[in-house]
Amino acid sequence: MPRIQTAPRGLGRRRFLKGTAALAGMAGAGLVLPGAFPRPAIAQGSRPWFSHGLQSGDVGQDSAVVWARADRPSRLLIEWSTSESLANATQVVGPALMEDTDLTGKQLLTGLPAGQTIFWRGTLVDLANSNAVSEPLIGRFRTGGAETRDVTFVWSGDCAGQGWGINLDWGGMKIFETMRRLQPDFFIHSGDTIYADGPILPAVALADGTIWKNVFIPEKAKVAETLAEFRAAYKYNLTDANYLAFNAEVPVIGQWDDHETTNNWYPNEVLAGDDRYQVKSMALLSARSSKAYLEYMPIAEVDVERRRVYRKVSYGPLLDVFVLDMRSYRGDNTANREESETAFLGKAQTRWLLEGLKNSKATWKAIAADMPIGLLVPDGKEAFEAIANGDGPALGREREMAGLLKAMKDQAIKNVVWFTADVHYTAAHYYDPNKAQFQDFDPFWEFVSGPLNAGTFGPNKLDDTFGPQLVYVKAPAEGQANLPPSAGMQFFGHVAIAAATGVMTVTLKDLANVDLYQVALNPET
């Protein structure tokens, strides 16, 4: 794996390199830097390196998670400040990055000032030689405001799937650079953060006769089964320069879905018929997948023992983000029509979501869902992967959703908007009870966007149970499937909430940052 320690683009590369050189020189002289950790003399031999950049995530009003990976067992030292110069920085001794977590580590920073841009510097100290110190890396993020201020975020999902990897000749995963330039407050990664089940080979022949050339690593030549192979999928994505620059400046709110493990998986599944897998137990595969996910994503873990990833991220008076897990608590993928086939979020998560929505004081409640509600997503010929199961009354998993939507109406919970990915195209859906089979709910919007450097598909058929109206869609033409990223049909969404009015403006965008569809939503009181 190449060394990845590079300067974040938006932080001023020349100034970054100049500061790094000065810091190295002062540390080499044994000098103590004002407002910073004392720097041991840097050994003449090999120093530790940040092997895959810096990340931050789950940023709230007074806290954030920061993440790094080293090339060897090291201690992560952290300094943060509201000053870009990192003057008078607060010092935090971070975790030891050890082999049991694949040399990754994350630190929850607390006591941060609200509504501020936080600059943070990471430095590695070799645990085998305390005189060996890395060059520093600098990241930044913006905390949520205690007072009302404008809020912006982007969302998308489905990263490096269907064999479309990092093509350096094309410019790498360029959609991350498109999103970075918008300088959002944060990014909701709506699942399929990797494709553990999607091999990435050195070359793919395109329909026009040209060749798509992938960066290739041996671990991605097959489906992931071992813990090392799951970890390698994350490391692969984190070699892309666009992704690294994005991570240094934009905190992520991460979700997981199916491809972090394997396509359309459910907890009780046994992969009896898939010859690609020597490991047949989904319990074992998903446990390895979960460990790698939690190691490589900068998420605040609310229940480490149970590896729970559903959570709320509060970003100030205008916005709470409710992050769902639509994978870990579901029943089997079946025809999805019987009374016993209702588990999707599961009872505990559904209660948590309803209680959180009811108690939220934020103007807007964004639900980050890893799958859409009303789109048919088949799993083979006779089973369904998502909630929808075909036109008609609420049956199977739809009953759980019907109960949730009814409870939201009964408790007068307003200003709830759903954001999702999964289906590899972009769309805006308006759920209208007047046009639904099940009608006991308030109308709401659901926005879909993706993929991120993966194949483009769709569109999927809508199920009329909850009355979704297709307001906008952009997807491949009929007969086209798995279009490469170079076809340009890579999508994300941008959300801007205005402090002065509370209006939420949602814009669906493409790889070139073209506005495809936009709607302004007025908050209800």
Q: Cβ distance 372 to 386 under 8 Å?
A: yes
The mean per-residue pLDDT over the stretch 247-263 comes to: 98
Better pLDDT: 466 or 44: 466
Instruction: Identify whether residues 178 and 72 lie together within a single domain.
Output: no
For helices 227-237 and 282-296, angle between their N-to-C axes, nearest 10 degrees: 40
pTM comes to 0.92
Instruction: Identify whether residues 121 and 192 lie together within a single domain.
Output: no
The mean per-residue pLDDT over the stretch 502-525 comes to: 98
Assess if residue 205 is contained within a domain.
Answer: yes
Instruction: Identify whether residues 278 and 411 lie together within a single domain.
Output: yes
Q: Please report, for the domain that includes residue 114, its CATH number.
A: 2.60.40.380
Instruction: Identify whether residues 194 and 262 lie together within a single domain.
Output: yes
Structure-block tokens of residue 29: 């002289």
In DSSP terms, which residues pair with 94 in a beta bridge? Answer: none
Beta strands of 143-216 (E only): which ranges?
151-156, 186-189, 203-205, 211-213
Q: What is the mean pLDDT of the chain?
A: 92
Instruction: Identify whether residues 102 and 235 lie together within a single domain.
Output: no
* Domain that residue 117 falls in: 9-142
How far is residue 471 CA from its own chain's centroid? 26
CB neighbourhood size of 188 (10 A): 28
Cα(286)–Cα(410) distance, integer angstroms: 37
Q: For residue range 311-359, what is the model confidence (pLDDT) as tens digits? A: 999 999 999 999 999 999 999 999 999 978 889 999 999 999 999 999 9
The mean per-residue pLDDT over the stretch 232-251 comes to: 98
The mean per-residue pLDDT over the stretch 126-131 comes to: 95
The mean per-residue pLDDT over the stretch 483-503 comes to: 97
Cα(108)–Cα(115) distance, integer angstroms: 18
DSSP state for residue 145 in the 8-state scheme: P
The vertex-491 CA angle with 224 and 153, nearest 5°, equals 95
Assess if residue 257 is contained within a domain.
Answer: yes
Tell me how many domains the chain contains. 2
Q: For residue range 381-427, what is the model confidence (pLDDT) as tens digits? A: 899 999 999 999 999 999 999 999 999 999 999 999 999 999 999 99
Instruction: Identify whether residues 207 and 341 lie together within a single domain.
Output: yes
Instruction: Identify whether residues 115 and 198 lie together within a single domain.
Output: no
Last residue of a domain, one of 142, 175, 202: 142
Q: Cβ distance 120 to 53 under 8 Å?
A: no
How confident is the model at residue 7, as a pLDDT?
44
How confident is the model at residue 341, as a pLDDT?
81
Q: For residue range 165-209, what is the model confidence (pLDDT) as tens digits? A: 999 999 999 999 999 999 999 999 999 999 999 999 999 999 999
How far is residue 184 CA from its own chain's centroid? 14
Assess if residue 4 is contained within a domain.
Answer: no
Omega prior to 459 cis, within 30 of 0 = yes
The vertex-356 CA angle with 396 and 145, nearest 5°, equals 135
Assess if residue 3 is contained within a domain.
Answer: no
Assess if residue 163 is contained within a domain.
Answer: yes
The mean per-residue pLDDT over the stretch 228-250 comes to: 98
Q: Taking 90 as the threshold, does the pLDDT of residue 8 lie above it?
A: no
Assess if residue 238 is contained within a domain.
Answer: yes
Instruction: Using pLDDT thresholds of 50, 70 and 90, give the confidence band for residue 298.
Output: very high
Q: Cβ distance 344 to 300 under 8 Å?
A: no
Q: Cβ distance 172 to 165 under 8 Å?
A: no
Listed residue (520, 517, 481) closest to 497, CA to CA = 520
Beta strands of 147-240 (E only): which ranges?
151-156, 186-189, 203-205, 211-213
Last residue of a domain, one of 142, 164, 194: 142
- R_g of the chain, CA atoms, integer Å: 23
The mean per-residue pLDDT over the stretch 88-116 comes to: 97
Per-residue CA distances from 381 to 8, 334, 378, 385 (Å): 47, 10, 7, 11
Instruction: Identify whether residues 273 and 347 lie together within a single domain.
Output: yes
Instruction: Using pLDDT thresholds of 50, 70 and 90, give the confidence band for residue 461.
Output: very high
Which DSSP string do the residues of 383-447 spell out, in sequence order? -BSSS--SSSS--THHHHHHHHHHHHHHTT---EEEEE--SSSEEEEEE-GGG-SS--S--EEEE
Instruction: Identify whether residues 95 and 202 lie together within a single domain.
Output: no
In DSSP terms, which residues pair with 228 in a beta bridge? Answer: none
Cα(367)–Cα(325) distance, integer angstroms: 11
Q: Cβ distance 441 to 418 under 8 Å?
A: no
Cα(100)–Cα(274) distance, integer angstroms: 30
Instruction: Identify whether residues 511 and 440 lie together within a single domain.
Output: yes
Torsions phi, psi of 78, nearest 5? -125, 135
How confident is the model at residue 303, as a pLDDT?
77
Cα(2)–Cα(474) distance, integer angstroms: 37
Assess if residue 105 is contained within a domain.
Answer: yes
Instruction: Using pLDDT thresholds of 50, 70 and 90, give the confidence band for residue 306.
Output: confident
How confident is the model at residue 22, as a pLDDT?
35
3-state secondary structure of 33: coil
Instruction: Identify whether residues 189 and 120 lie together within a single domain.
Output: no
Q: What is the dihedral of CA 502, 503, 506, 512, to 10 degrees?
A: -90
Q: Please report, for the domain that includes residue 471, its CATH number.
A: 3.60.21.70
Assess if residue 384 is contained within a domain.
Answer: yes
How many helices (H) and strands (E) in the chain? 7, 22
The vertex-69 CA angle with 67 and 73, nearest 5°, equals 125
Instruction: Identify whether residues 320 and 469 lie together within a single domain.
Output: yes
The mean per-residue pLDDT over the stretch 289-296 comes to: 97
Last residue of a domain, one of 142, 177, 198: 142
Cα(522)–Cα(501) distance, integer angstroms: 8
How far is residue 152 CA from its own chain's centroid? 16
The mean per-residue pLDDT over the stretch 300-311 comes to: 82
